[in-house]
Structure 1
Amino acid sequence: MMINGTVALGDLIGLGHNHSSFPALRLESRSLVTSATMFAVGVLGNLIAIVVLCVSKKEQKETTFYTLVCGMAITDLLGTCFTSPVVIATYVSSRWPGGALLCHFFSFSMLFFGSAGVSILCAMAVERYLAINHAYFYSKHIDRTMARFALLVTYLANIVLCVMPSFGFGRHVRHFPGTWCFLDWRAADALGACYSFLYGGVMLLLIAVTVLCNLAVCRSLVGMNQRTGRVRTELCEQSGSRRRFPRLPSVTSAAEIQMFWLLVFMTIVFLVCSIPLVVRKTVHCKP
């Protein structure tokens, strides 16, 4: 999502190389087209998602899940707008358009919007898990106010986590081919290595919780479907008739199931875009 829309595919090929300066950038024009296309698609897609959420039914807009979805769309939109233009400007001018300050801002944006996106996705997975597996607790304690509070806590916690390199816990560097900045995951100093492990560990933990919650919800939905099928079969056998029976009430509504599958799709897309960068960064860290 955000990471995928910021750095072109050609840039990711050289993830293992980082340099503090790139005096002579030799950038391919097709990479500029790729970055510009990703930027346009990212902005347009998130704007469409926000508009759809705004014009959706009132009962949908008031749900906790849609509040989190809206937060995800806004976060991804801001991440794309804060980073992609810098990449495009670098391709156009064939040089880094700013100094160390811009590199620090770019790297912070990559860190913050990447971890914030995964955090919101994790919150959505936990919300679906509670709604399906612990419906009574969910109805008593989870609402839009809780969702907004969760978003606020998510942003504040990720700001604290991602601003640490700016105070010496880690180092921002430009990465091959010189169009983007991120952590120096080959940092030899103890603080830099520890922060890389910290950030990568937090991301992997959030991803693990998201996947586990989704698997738990899948298992619950399958179990509910099987139990409903058995009840219908027993009713048919007891009546001795093959006539069609009224639909039995379900624990989960169709809207809740649609929310879950939307979450699964978003999880797959986000993980495909973020896991390669997180894993490669963690593997290259040196304590």
Structure 2
Amino acid sequence: YPSMWAPGNLTSSTELREGCGSVSVAFPITMLITGFVGNALAMLLVSRSYPRRESKRKKSFLLCIGWLALTDLVGQLLTTPVVIVVYLSKQRWEQLDPSGRLCTFFGLTMTVFGLSSLFIASAMAVERALAIRAPHWYASHMKTRATRAVLLGVWLAVLTFALLPVLGVGQYTVQWPGTWCFISTGGGGNGTSSRDNWGNLFFASTFAFLGLAALAITFACNLATIKALVSRCRAKAMASQSSAQWGRITTETAIQLMGIMCVLSVCWSPLLIMMLKMIFNQTSVEHCKSQMEKQKECNFFLIAVRLASLNQILDPWVYLLLRKILLRKFCQV
């Protein structure tokens, strides 16, 4: 990967980190602690609730929640400690990782667990839409085994995609301010061939479009679920006297689904859109070391990545922990 912030540049990576207001070791430490607590609590709740569920729909939901929490937790444990160590060492990444293998592993991990979380959220949205809009088909065709197969398939498919840079398509490079690695969004410098540049652009743009596609699927399915719930609530109100209960259930579910959509859009849209912008402008972190005006854009990119990482912290809360009924049962246990 390109040698960033090497001697002879404007300033050292350590000086740049200390002079940048958006860079602080407190961010990754805080996010690691809060993410670990939330996802571990969600996994504990799922492990206690899952064996007691007889409904296939509820078991599938809990299985998806547990898988998502495990994905977010493992992703944080594999990446955040590295960022903390690199930052506290006050050395350039190249000094700690001269072979570049840690950078490749870090970027691959970011890609795998980032996309996996998005597509697991999409799978959950599809599962909810099928359960509400086609309950008879869902009851006869959707098994817990099928849910496991889909979740495992998501992991394997994303891992296969993330391995493309190892095979020569795309590249994982050190990112601003030199404490982490991710997908290169531009050319790798004068020593990089045109073929490698096109590989970088293809891999980075594919990642961004896959992420946006996952968001679009989640939004479409959640909106379809809300529409079906509202229609069913109106039908129940006309056919029975339990309209108040159905209205409450519909309202709570609609609020939760809209909350999920808001969290996903706020956390992931800035990173994905900014990646496409940097790809279009052929901008990469290489420009941060030589062009001071580009450092502001790189700081925005760092903030966008932190927002995406924040999604790993919020996932267990918006999907499970803030559900009043489950929280009450957890307290009883």
- For this structure pair, what is the TM-score category when the shorter chain's length is used for normalisation? 0.7 to 0.9
Q: Is the 8 A contact 2:237 2:243 kept in 1?
A: no
1:79 to 75, 78, 81: 75
Report what 1:10 is aligned to: none
Q: What secondary structure is seen at the aligned counterpart in 2 of 1:54?
A: helix
Output the CA distance in 2 between the equivalents of 1:263 and 1:87. 33
1:104 and 1:179, CA in 2 relative to 1: closer, same or farther beyond 3 A? same
How far residue 257 of structure 1 moved from its aligned partner, in angstroms, is: 8.3
Question: What's the CA shift string for 1:218-246, capped at 9, x where partnerless?
Answer: 111111112222335xxxxxxxxxxxx4x
> 1:115–1:203: 8 Å Cα contact kept in structure 2?
yes
Kindly provide the amino acid, as one letter, of the partner of residue 89 in structure 1: V
Does 2:45 correspond to 1:52?
yes
C-alpha spacing 1:250/1:141, structure 2 compared with 1 (3 Å) = farther
What SS does structure 2 have at the residue aligned with 1:31?
coil
Tell me the percent identity: 28
Q: In structure 2, what is the equivalent of residue 159 of structure 1? A: 159
Match of 2:225 among 210, 213, 217: 217
Task: Name which of 188, 197, 202 aligns with 2:205.
Answer: 197
Partner SS state of residue 56, structure 1: helix
Is the contact between residue 174 and residue 181 of structure 2 (CA under 8 Å) also seen in structure 1? yes
Q: Which residue of 1 aligns with 2:84?
A: 88
Shift of the alpha carbon at 1:168? 1.2
Question: Counterpart of 2:30 in structure 1: which amino acid?
Answer: T
On the 8 A contact 1:68/1:151 being kept in 2, the answer is: yes
C-alpha RMSD of matched pairs (Å): 2.8
Contact kept, 8 Å, 2:233 with 2:247, in 1: the verdict is: no
Q: Supply the AA of the counterpart residue of 1:93.
A: S
Describe the superposition over 1:148-176 as per-residue Cα deviations: whole angstroms up to 9, x where unpaired.
Answer: 10111111100111110111111111111
Alignment deviations for residues 90-130 of structure 1 (CA, whole Å, 9 cap, x no partner): 11111223231111111101111000000100000000000
Distance 2:137 2:248 in 1: 17
Equivalents in 2 of 1:112, 1:61: separation in Å?
Answer: 31
Alignment partner, residue 185 of structure 1: 185
Q: How does 1:136-175 map to 2 (within 5 A)?
A: 136-175=136-175
In the alignment, does 2:255 pair up with 1:272?
A: no
CA-CA distance at 1:270 after TM superposition: 3.5
Alpha-carbon distance in structure 1 between the residues aligned to 2:64 and 2:145:
11
* Contact persistence 2:208–2:273 (CA under 8 A): yes
Alignment correspondent of 1:230: 238
> Does the CA contact (< 8 Å) of 2:25 and 2:88 recur in 1?
yes
* Paired position in structure 1 for 2:13: 25
Once the two structures are overlaid, the 10-residue window that deviates more, 273-282 or 155-164, is 273-282
Contact residue 112 and residue 159 of structure 2 kept, 8 A: yes
| Equivalent-residue separation in structure 2 for 1:133 and 1:98 (angstroms) | 52
Q: Distance in 1 between matches of 2:108 and 2:254?
A: 31
Shift of 1:19: 6.0
TM-score (norm 1): 0.80
Q: Which runs of 5+ in 2 are unaligned?
A: 7-11, 188-193, 283-333
Aligned match of 2:64:
68
Amino acid at match of 1:197: S
CA distance, structure 1, for counterparts of residue 160 and residue 200 of structure 2: 16
* Unpaired segments ≥5 residues, structure 1: 1-17, 233-244
Q: Which residue of 1 aligns with 2:297?
A: none
Are 2:79 and 2:109, in contact at CA under 8 Å, matched by a contact in 1?
yes
8 Å contact from structure 2 (residues 236, 246) kept in 1: no
